Structure 1
Amino acid sequence: MPPLAESVSDAQLVSSAVETLAKRTRFPVAFGGLEHDGSVHVSAIFGGQTRTLEGLVVRASRGLGGRALVEKRARLALDYGSSRSITHDYDRAVLGEHISTLFAVPVVVSGRARAVLYCGSRGRAPVGDVVAQPALAVAEELATELRVRDEVARRMSLIPARTDALPAAAVEELRETYAELRSIGAELDDPALRSRLAALEARVAGLSSPPAAADLVTDVHLAPRELDVLARAGLGETNAEIGLTLGLKEGTVKSYLQSAMAKLDASTRHAAVAKARRVGILP
């Protein structure tokens, strides 16, 4: 995992998740951070009254968060100060905020705990479904965002530098990558990440376009979903397969394809894909 200073976007996601955690659980204190070198580095704090939590680094297996990190499951201390199930390495930081009840939830991505989120109360407070379920949901949402970012980074690393003549197998891989990126983009709510993904899609499309495509002028503008279904049609998928991948009804897929065909002045889906590739809309 890269140094924390290089993970600005991920750190911002954690900060947003911590604020959301406090609002959904209504616990007065929430904090959290990313895992780095086997420890959780607290980078976001919401509702703090002191500075004792700032810069806190929680080692694996130590304290409540360290257990959550290693066990990859939520951990609870109803009376943190007297709890016998955890080590008390971080009493100064936690008790310095007068926290009594503390709930720690790991953010698990592909079987690995990537971060830990905490919410706490300054008095003994029961943690039933009213608190637990929203906290678990926030952790899952953050896990999804991190998973998507990982996939984008992985696919970016696979994209070769532009060449004038890519092997057929490489072109096919680029087309599959483009279609998958479109599918991932449809799942995102983060505008900044969607923008980054759109730039990557354009890069992929340009890599396999023939040199002449850059000189072609076209006034064809496909809607996002028209582009999604056309990209997958270009991989040879049926309407049913496209619908399953994109979460659309088969009839809806057909409508989007017909609309794309009309805009491209093509009588078949294959002709639409060929023209979209020729003008650089698709790779």
Structure 2
Amino acid sequence: MGGQSGSDQLPGSESEAQVLARAVSDLARRTRFPVAFGGLEQGDAIHVTSIVGARTRSLEGLVVQASRGLGGRALVEKRPRLALDYRSARSITHDYDRAVLGEGISTLFAVPVLVGSRARGVIYCGSWAAAPVGDVVARPAFAVADELSSELRIREEVRRRLALAPTPAEASALAPAAREELRETYAELRSIAAVVEDPALRDRLARLEQRLAALSHAEKEPPLDLDVRLSPREIDVLACAALGSTNAEIAKTLSLREGTVKSYLQSAMAKLDASTRHAAVARARRAGLLP
């Protein structure tokens, strides 16, 4: 299969460090804590690369080792950790007092960013005075961590799919089983693209989808010259239907109501002049709209 680099940055897209920076800014805004910072895991350590609201430069370049300090514990234990009075906290090591106390932080809240079973990083929010951390703070912090987790998971999956995308020479020799796998990849990319917020990444996915559709076009039948415009959601639904998914399964995959899925299918069938979903899929493939 054609290869892509293992870099954390997808071509034309934000880097993971930039995605983290957006999350840290959101954390400061949504929790109302004056200081927010965070880092991604590299070599069993959190490398802090984004800081918002700091009054000093004490946190710059901070590297937190696994199990050490508040963030190191959150990373290893894969659960949030809180120090209401950081200076006197006995449940953590104080390896990073110079950085944390140097910023004047009193209360510190650390939330791990989990992608599957792996902790990919930690985001922190803190205050210079002792402050309670109840649901008002915890809920938005957890929400930011979840959103960042989803973004990182999507990017990992996109990188994996890009690495598996066939070259034109490989595509011409696709066996039936490989062709079906490619169609599954296409459908999954459509569902991923539906929840991606980064416009550049979404465009990159759209180009990859077009490439897959063109590469896997069957040569047994002449292509159809159809002047048909399917909406993105109609293509999403048809791509899932092409895999044999029921309306209920498509609804779950695309986070839609089952009735909405049925409506999209009927609309696509009408545009393609097809009486069944299977006929619609076949005509969409011959028209180069689906792989």
Q: 2:271 aligns with which of 260, 263, 266?
A: 263
Do residues 80 (structure 1) and 86 (structure 2) align?
Answer: yes
Partners of 2:70 and 2:62 lie apart in 1 by: 13
Q: 1:71 aligns with which of 62, 74, 77?
A: 77
Of residues 83-92 and 51-60 in structure 1, the stretch that sits farther from structure 2 once superposed is: 83-92
Partner deviation per Cα, 1:195-220 (whole Å, 9 max, x = no partner): 22222212221220146999865431
Specify the alignment match of 1:25 in structure 2. 31
Specify the alignment match of 2:162 in structure 1. 156
Specify the alignment match of 1:238 in structure 2. 246
Instruction: Report the AA paired with residue 241 of structure 1.
Output: E
Q: CA deviation at 1:11?
A: 0.9
Partner deviation per Cα, 1:19-53 (whole Å, 9 max, x = no partner): 11111110000000110010000010000111111
Q: 1:182 aligns with which of 170, 176, 190?
A: 190
Q: 2:40 aligns with which of 22, 34, 37?
A: 34
Q: CA deviation at 1:128?
A: 1.1
Q: 1:274 aligns with which of 279, 282, 287?
A: 282
Specify the alignment match of 1:47 in structure 2. 53
Of residues 253-262 and 135-144 in structure 1, the stretch that sits farther from structure 2 once superposed is: 253-262
Q: Mark the runs of 5 or more structure 1 residues left unpaired by the alignment.
A: none
Counterpart contact for 1:3–1:36, Cα < 8 Å: no
Q: 2:262 aligns with which of 245, 254, 259?
A: 254
Do residues 200 (structure 1) and 208 (structure 2) align?
Answer: yes
Specify the alignment match of 1:107 in structure 2. 113
Partners of 2:194 and 2:283 lie apart in 1 by: 24
Q: Find the residue that maps to 2:112 and give its secondary structure.
A: strand
Flag the 1:214–1:203 CA change in 2: closer, same or farther, 3 A: farther
Q: CA deviation at 1:268?
A: 2.4
Q: CA deviation at 1:5?
A: 8.4
Q: 1:144 aligns with which of 141, 150, 169?
A: 150
TM-score by structure 1 length? 0.92
Of residues 116-125 and 229-238 in structure 1, the stretch that sits farther from structure 2 once superposed is: 229-238
Q: CA deviation at 1:121?
A: 0.3
How many residues align structurally?
283
Taking only aligned residues, the RMSD between alpha carbons, in angstroms, comes to: 2.3
Higher share of residues assigned helix: 1
Partners of 2:7 and 2:211 lie apart in 1 by: 27
Q: CA deviation at 1:224?
A: 1.1
Q: Which gives a bigger RCO, structure 1 or 2 (Cα 8 Å, sep 6+)?
A: 2
Flag the 1:196–1:212 CA change in 2: closer, same or farther, 3 A: farther
Q: Mark the runs of 5 or more structure 2 residues left unpaired by the alignment.
A: 1-5
Partner deviation per Cα, 1:235-271 (whole Å, 9 max, x = no partner): 1223233223223333322221121122222232222
Percent identity of the aligned residues?
Answer: 69
Instruction: Report the AA paired with residue 72 of structure 2.
Output: G
Of residues 236-245 and 47-56 in structure 1, the stretch that sits farther from structure 2 once superposed is: 236-245
Counterpart contact for 1:104–1:116, Cα < 8 Å: yes
After superposition, residues 214-229 of structure 1 pair within 5 angstroms as 217-229=225-237
Instruction: Report the AA paired with residue 107 of structure 1.
Output: V
Do residues 123 (structure 1) and 129 (structure 2) align?
Answer: yes
Partners of 2:248 and 2:75 lie apart in 1 by: 41
